[in-house]
Amino acid sequence: RRKVLKTASTASKRIMEGQKVSGTKRKEMEEGKAELQGAQPEKTIAMPKKSDFRMRAHINPLGDTPFPFPQSPDYVNWRLHFPMYFGGNKEESVQKIFANTPKHPLCYSVDPEDDSVNGKGTEKQVEILDVGCGYGGLIVGLATVFPDSLMMGIEIRDKVTDYVAERIAALRNENEGQYQNIAVIRSNAMRHLANYVRKGQLSKLFFCFPDPHFKRIHHKRRIVSSNLLNDYAYLLKEGGKIYCITDVNDLHVWHEEHLAKHPLFEKLSEEEMKADPAVEVMVTNTEEGKKVARMGGSKYYTVYRRIKNPTA
């Protein structure tokens, strides 16, 4: 304590005499003042290093689901993920992380949550989903393009989910008032999307560089299929969009064929896709997309719109 007081006193004297004080000394002075006043120095949240969160590129989505999930959207407390929109404060948004992983666990109630936090009784609901969000490049890029929309990344790999959650906390801490509209949860989108999202809730649904599952026997694991498109059509509002991008042409053809055959989707024109700011972010901002660009590869994408249900 005596050392802190001496450092603060010396630095203050230099400032009064018009002498320059180094950044380190100035910081020590501020910390000394904080200690004298009984306060704690403001905590900084470091941006996580991707190298600390590496794991295998893909996981079998048809395997066991070793993590909890809510019974229905009524059992989700969105204040844990978007505190500034559901009655919380800044401290909650940066210091408390709930990502449904062993490192950042999340427990779902056995009883429905209050309508003020489960989205049923509020104007704000999650309306943009990035399925298989990877290291979070898309939702981070979209956060400032659509600042009034709540968006969620869904990722099945626990360490990757941890990275995104800590990245979001650091971004919130570094950028006052920004990135409060994005969050991430570990979940299996092929099984549990409807446990988080209500009918007609989504305006945008992204599938960026999903696992191609090249072997025919594994095609049932592909995130875009006839059966899953029925689920996506249920969750998307009329006029909502589904976005797909890949660097594998065969998978792009698969996306086009299945979406074109589905009665509740119609393809956007080239002009409409060029005018959509989300397309530019999708093509340029994901980590996998940047890797493809560095390697000189090709990117194939398509966007389809959810149309009205046919009349009987």
Q: Known catalytic residue: 130?
A: no
Across the beta sheet with 265-267, the strand order is: 182-186, 150-155, 126-131, 202-208, 236-246, 300-306, 265-267
CA atoms within 13 A on the CB side of 85: 25
- The SS3 of residue 26 is helix
Strand 265-267 with 236-246, pairing: unpaired
Alpha helices, DSSP H, located in 135-203: 137-145, 158-174, 189-192
Q: Is residue 285 within 8 Å of residue 146, measured between CB atoms?
A: no
Read off the DSSP letter of residue 240: E
For 18, phi and psi rounded to 5 degrees? 80, 10
Q: Is residue 164 within 8 Å of residue 98, measured between CB atoms?
A: no
Distance between CA atoms of 181 and 130, rounded to whole angstroms?
13
Query: Choosing from 211, 231, 247, 276, which is the catalytic residue?
Result: 211
Q: Is residue 198 within 8 Å of residue 73, measured between CB atoms?
A: yes
Distance between CA atoms of 255 and 303, rounded to whole angstroms?
10
Q: Alpha carbon of 124 to those of 42, 97, 120, 149, 283: distances in Å? A: 31, 20, 9, 8, 27
Catalytic residue positions?
A: 211
